[in-house]
C-alpha cells in the first residue's frame, strides 16, 4: 500500500517529541501499530517514553533491545514496545511478534523496517531524522484512513 500523505513535524527538544507522542496517545485505539525508524539516538525511545507517560505508565521506559518486547499492561491500555534491531531480515523471530498486532493494545516498534514484510497493512510510520544535537525532523506517514484521521486531529 503506497501513501503520498506525509506530515512533517520539527522537534526542537526531547519535550517536543514527547508532546507529539502524548498527542498521538490521546487519539489511540485498540490494535494501533506505530512503526519508528531512525538512526541510534534519533529520538525513537523518547517518543515511546512520552506515549507511555500519557498512558499512565510510571515504569522507566528503556529500549527492549535484548528481549525484543516489553509489555506494559498497567496503563489505561496495554503498550507493547518492540525493538527488533537484533533480528535478521526474514528472521522467524517475527512469528510471535505479529500476534501483538491484534492484542487490543498499542504496539510501538523501533527499527520496524527490519520486519517490514510482517507489518500490518494499516499502521503509522514515523521516520526520525537528526538535524543537530537537539533538532529532529519527524516524517509521519499514515497507512489507512484511521491513521490519516488521527494525524489530521493531532497535527
For residue 96, tell me if it sits in a domain.
Answer: yes
Would you state the pLDDT for residue 106? Answer: 97
Would you state the pLDDT for residue 43? Answer: 96
For residue 1, tell me if it sits in a domain.
Answer: no
- Are 3 and 142 in contact by the 8 Å Cβ rule? The answer is yes
Where the chain has pLDDT below 70, the residues are 1-4, 65, 88-95
Question: Given the DSSP bridges, would you call strands 69-72 and 79-83 parallel, antiparallel or unpaired?
Answer: antiparallel
Would you state the pLDDT for residue 105? Answer: 95
111 CB neighbour count, 10 Å cutoff: 20
Domains: count for the chain: 1
Neighbouring-strand partners of residue 37: 127
pTM: 0.92
Supply 58's cell numbers: 510510571
Question: Given the DSSP bridges, would you call strands 106-110 and 79-83 parallel, antiparallel or unpaired?
Answer: parallel
Q: For residue 146, give the nearest of 31, 1, 20 by alpha carbon.
A: 31
For residue 2, tell me if it sits in a domain.
Answer: no
For residue 17, tell me if it sits in a domain.
Answer: yes
Would you state the pLDDT for residue 95? Answer: 60
Q: What is the extent of the structural domain holding 26?
A: 7-154
For residue 12, tell me if it sits in a domain.
Answer: yes
Would you state the pLDDT for residue 104? Answer: 93
The CATH number that applies at residue 81 is 3.40.50.300
Amino acid at each position: 500500500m503506497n501513501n503520498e500523505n506525509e506530515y512533517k513535524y520539527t522537534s526542537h527538544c526531547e519535550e517536543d517529541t514527547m508532546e507529539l507522542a502524548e498527542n498521538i496517545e490521546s487519539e489511540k485505539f485498540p490494535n494501533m501499530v506505530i512503526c519508528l525508524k531512525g538512526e541510534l539516538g534519533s529520538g525513537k525511545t523518547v517518543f515511546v517514553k512520552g506515549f507511555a507517560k500519557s498512558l499512565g505508565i510510571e515504569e522507566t521506559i528503556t529500549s527492549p533491545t535484548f528481549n525484543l518486547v516489553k509489555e506494559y499492561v498497567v496503563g489505561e491500555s496495554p503498550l507493547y514496545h518492540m525493538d527488533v534491531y537484533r533480528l535478521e531480515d526474514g528472521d522467524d523471530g517475527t512469528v510471535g511478534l505479529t500476534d501483538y498486532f491484534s492484542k487490543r493494545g498499542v504496539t510501538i516498534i523501533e527499527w520496524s523496517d527490519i520486519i517490514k514484510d510482517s507489518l500490518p497493512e494499516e499502521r503509522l510510520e514515523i521516520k526520525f531524522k537528526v538535524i543537530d544535537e537537539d533538532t529532529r525532523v519527524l516524517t509521519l506517514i499514515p497507512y489507512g484512513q484511521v491513521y490519516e484521521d488521527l494525524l489530521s486531529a493531532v497535527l
